[in-house]
Structure 1
Amino acid sequence: MKSEVSTFIYALFFVQLFGIHFDEYQSESQFSKQAKEIIDKLGQLGYCKKRDDGVLEATIPSKYNSLPRDACVVVQKSDGTTLYITRDIAALKTRLETIPTEKILYVVDSSQTEHFRNLLTISKAMQVDQVKNWDLDDFYIPFGRMINFQTRKGKFDLLSDVLDDAKERAQEGLDRFLIRKDGIDHAKVSAVIGKAYLILNDFSRARRADYMFSWHEISSKDGVAFLLLYCHARLCSLEKQVKIPIDWSANVNLLTDRQEHILIQQLSTFQDVLFDAYRSHEPTKIVHYLVRLV
């Protein structure tokens, strides 16, 4: 339990570094009692059978499965202990009953596809009304993994090590380009740039794709992060130096150059790109849009 708590506290600290806030926290381990009720219900429906080794297994007809076969899922250990799948089913059912919501999303790495397929299949077989028309893609948002994720000092134990490394590399970049200004907290700027490097590198790839983590690629002048951050800094500098208030009601008919029209057309598609990224859960679409805009 102590290890679980310390891991949770660290995870909470980490996500807050990226500006992420949660209104409520729940663990599937909180639903052990409800999981027993799930097993009883599966037994009443005739889906459960005890194997010779004492393990309880549920066989769900293929009509509830997204695959053309029955789903055979172990739902209880031989000692009567519930499993992750049964507690997760209990958690889903409880949340649907107690939280007014149109959608529940599970954002978990792609190695858990079979687990969430079973979660949906069993929930449908138990006649959980809200999920009867759901497909797997409606509630499970899988993502790929970073391979070779390490700092310059070797393998890392904590993600904070990677953030510290990103900050250090960003500071070296600022020093290399002799970017020093009075009145600026360079340590804070380096931390922001370091996080931006990591976020933009990840978001520039398809959500489901596994990829090799490379510091050289992330911090390269030819990389997406450097391109977007440099362009943003240049635009902010121009706006500050020109000191002309932006007139959002300006007459765009005065813009007659072909390149100006192309830029305006690209800017006009932002709302569509944003909605498409939201609908498909693909942040890479926003990054690709920004790269085209640059």
Structure 2
Amino acid sequence: MNVLDHLRALFADALRPLTERPEDYALHVRPAQDPKFGDYQANCAMPLRKELGGNPREIAQKIIDNLPDQSIFESIEIAGPGFINLCLTSDALVGELGTLLGSDSLLPATSGPAPTMVIDYSSPNVAKPMHVGHLRSTIIGDALARIHRALGWNVISDNHLGDWGTQFGMLIHGWRHYRDDAKAKENPLAELARLYRHVNELGENDPVVARAARDETVKLHEGDEENLALWKEFMPWCLEDLHRIYDRLDIRFDHELGESFYQPMLAETAKSLEEKQMATPSDGALCVFFPDPSGKTDDDDNVIQRFAPMIVRKADGAFTYATTDLASIRYRVEEFQPDVIVYVVDDRQSLHFQQLFEVAEKWGYTDVQFEHVAFGKITGKDGKPYKTRQGGTVGLEMLLDEGITRAKASVDEISPDLSEEERQQVAEVVGIGAIKYADLSQNRISDYIFDWDKMISLNGNTATYLQYVYARNRSIFRRGEIDPATFFATLPEIVLDHPSERALALILLQFPESLQQAAGDFKPNMLTTYLFDLANAYNGFFRDCPVLKAPSESLRASRLALCELTARTIRTGLDLLGIKTVERM
């Protein structure tokens, strides 16, 4: 059972005689921010005063009197202007912990039809290697997909690849004019990367080269047989490179429907917008305009526009990213019938998605919710976009390699008893986990500083710290020569006599709440904050409550149960962030 959901249901019943919106006011039941205020607080009396009038403390008392079941509360107190402080009984906590310990899953049970989400993330241009700029979309999107699946959603992940744009014109031009046959035969992928950089540099200074690359793109889009054949030859090499990175990150997609997939649908998309009088010709292009709702006009009597028009078809007949995105909406709605379509894309694209969603709704897609999950940029310590020492873009594979190398140095220091092979395996998990967690633990809306020393640290809110707490937890069972599966075949009675036992028990039961908060706000950092708080509570318990040397066998079994639940929760929580754990560290 989700404790918070149960409390909110109780308070909704208590509020029903007082308001027509009991569920809304019940949302004001939340975990207490400070243990001195109890376990949970119900802060619904003050906002309810606006509807009922009167004294909030008297309203709070009416709510308490209406509670249908008070047996789970050790105490209920009214504090300050009308806060209701709730302290749960130890029996209530113990009962829920026993249920968790005997269950195969820590995830909340779901009922009713599962809502469907299409989530669009990562979406690199396949013609060039992935770099640090792809990191946030990739791992935030993956974490959100995992969390929503854990909560019972039908999640369909789609990597909307850039596989049809100008970069392929650059590759085709480079392949024809600057290819090194020996290098292409030895490592075609590396040769493509070299050609892309070479043509890109030439095109910046030579308009003839830039124009030639664009012409090759146009020929590709028009179905030129030779260009299409080269595109088909390049694509497997490009995808192989991408999938190698995704494999290292332990990321999979249900679909990888790139721009090329939607290319045959673009003309019909533009035609439909024009027929519905949503798109109109302008200087040879086809555009959607966004007039100010007030109808205000400028000095030339033109209706003022809220922002620049969305170009659906350029004057030269080429379609745009916006056209492709609209075609993808039509396809996704017809194919998957989603309740929500989520785009995990950086905040620089906010205007594009504002326009896209508005056009899609006007186009007729009003039964699906659209969400732009925006995020800030990764910076160096100087506050500027994160670069190599030479000032170049940091390749994603290079970033992963450096993370593992740094983690290896740390693992060598703290775990000299492990074999070289074991230390390397741990370093792989710790290094990649550190990179992911450093990103996911930030409020995604903000920029964050990429700092190797902090992210690999055993102190603070890092994956390394959580992985270490987990490994130390597992060492208790090894030292005691206890097999958890055998030991917990018979569930022990859990005892919460010490404050540190109770504090750990309470936070263990709040795991489902953290998942719901992370999913509801599309913010994985709410889960990382929970896991950090759990690890700290466990360390307090570990410090205050001897486990293997507990004064009695029954208390030893109880504390082992708390250890086991902590390990399961940390392992499950990190897995939902796409981060692995190790048994020894």
Name the count of aligned residue pairs. 283
**CA 177–153 in structure 1, closer or farther in 2 if over 3 Å, else same:** farther
Question: The residue matched to 1:75 in structure 2 has which SS?
Answer: strand
| Corresponding position of 2:529 | 288
Which amino acid in 2 is paired with 1:146? I
Match of 1:124 in 2: 361
Partner Cα distance (2:443, 2:270) in 1: 38
**Does 1:58 pair with 2:299?**
no
* AA of the residue aligned to 1:257: H
Q: Describe the SS at the equivalent of 1:185.
A: helix
Does residue 250 (structure 1) correspond to residue 492 (structure 2)? The answer is: yes
* C-alpha distance in 1 between matches for 2:390 and 2:408: 17
Contact 1:55/1:78 (8 A) holds in 2: yes
Q: Which residue of 2 aligns with 1:17?
A: 248
**1:230 maps to which residue?**
468
Q: Deviations over 1:9-29 (max 9, x none)?
A: 433321222221122210133
Three-state SS of the structure 2 residue aligned to 1:202 is: helix
Match of 1:146 in 2: 378
Q: How does 1:105-254 map to 2 (within 5 A)?
A: 105-131=342-368, 134=369, 138-148=370-380, 149-150=386-387, 155=392, 157-182=394-419, 184-225=421-462, 226-244=464-482, 245=484, 246-247=487-488, 249-252=491-494, 254=495
**Counterpart amino acid of 2:503?**
I
Distance 1:186 1:70 in 2: 55
What's 2:67 paired with?
Answer: none
The farther-off stretch of 242-251 and 140-149 is 242-251
Measured against aligned partners, the alpha-carbon deviations of 1:166-210 in whole angstroms (never above 9, x if no partner) come to 111011112223533248532222111101111111111112221
Post-superposition offset of 1:243: 2.1
Amino acid at match of 1:31: Y
Distance 1:203 1:129 in 2: 31
Question: In structure 1, the residue corresponding to 2:311 is in which secondary structure?
Answer: strand
* CA distance in 2 between partners of 1:13 and 1:139 (Å): 29
The amino acid across from 1:34 in the alignment is: M
Is this contact kept in 2: 1:206–1:284, CA < 8 A? yes
1:113 deviates by 1.2
Q: Please name the residue that 1:42 is paired with.
A: 273
Q: Which amino acid aligns with 1:186?
A: R
> CA 1:262 to 1:72, structure 2 compared with 1: closer, same or farther past 3 Å?
same
The one-character-per-residue Cα deviations of 1:209-265 (angstroms, maximum 9, x if unpaired) are 21121112212343422321221121111121112344372212x321112111101
Distance 1:7 1:130, change over 3 A: farther
Quickly say closer, same or farther: Cα 1:178–1:139, change in 2 above 3 A. Answer: closer
Picking from 509, 513, 538, the partner of 1:268 is 509
**C-alpha distance in 2 between matches for 1:155 and 1:60:** 39
Alpha-carbon separation, structure 2, partners of 1:156 and 1:48? 38
Please give the alpha-carbon distance, in whole angstroms, between the structure 2 residues aligned to 1:178 and 1:265: 32
Superposed displacement of residue 151, structure 1: 6.0
The one-letter amino acid paired with 2:330 is K
C-alpha contact (below 8 Å) 1:35/1:86 kept by paired residues = yes
Distance 1:62 1:9, change over 3 A: farther
Q: Deviations over 1:43-64 (max 9, x none)?
A: 2222333333x2222124567x
2:344–2:373: 8 Å Cα contact kept in structure 1?
A: yes
The aligned amino acid for 1:28 is E
Whole-angstrom CA distance in 1 between matches of 2:501 and 2:435? 32
Decide which moves more: 173-182 or 258-267: 173-182
Give the AA of the match of 2:362: A
Distance 1:42 1:87 in 2: 13
Pair 69,155 (structure 1): closer, same or farther in 2 beyond 3 Å: closer
Q: Retained in 2: the 8 A contact 1:152–1:165?
A: no
SS of 1:25's equivalent in the other structure is coil
The 3 A distance-change label for structure 1 pair 62 and 126 is: farther
Identity in percent: 26
Aligned letter for 1:57? C
Give 2:261's aligned amino acid: Q
Max Rg structure: 2
CA distance in 1, matches of 2:415, 2:367: 58
1:119 and 1:9 map into 2 onto residues whose CA distance is: 31
Separation in 2, partners of 1:12, 1:236: 33
The one-letter code of the counterpart of 1:251 is E
TM-score, scaled relative to structure 2 = 0.45
Gaps of 5+ in 2: 1-167, 172-191, 193-233, 294-304, 381-385, 536-585
Aligned residues of 1:166 and 1:194 also touching (Cα < 8 A): yes
Please report the RMSD computed on the Cα atoms of aligned residues, expressed in angstroms.
Answer: 2.5
Taking a change above 3 Å as real, the CA distance of residues 110 and 59 of structure 1, as seen in their structure-2 partners, is: same
What SS class does the counterpart of residue 104 from structure 1 fall into?
Answer: strand
Which structure is richer in relative contact order (CA contacts within 8 A, separation 6 or more)? Answer: 2
Question: In structure 1, what is the Cα distance between the partners aligned to 2:387 and 2:454?
Answer: 14
Once residues 128 and 101 of structure 1 are traced to their aligned partners in structure 2, the CA distance between those partners, rounded to angstroms, is 11
Seen in structure 2, the aligned counterparts of structure 1 residues 219 and 249 have a Cα distance that, compared at 3 Å, is same
- 1:151 and 1:161 in contact (8 A); partners too: no
* Ranges in structure 1 where 5+ consecutive residues have no aligned partner: none
Residues 285 and 313 of structure 2 are in contact (CA less than 8 Å); yes or no, is this contact kept in structure 1?
A: yes
Query: Matches of 2:454 and 2:434 in 1, distance apart?
Result: 10
Q: Does 1:278 align with 2:509?
A: no
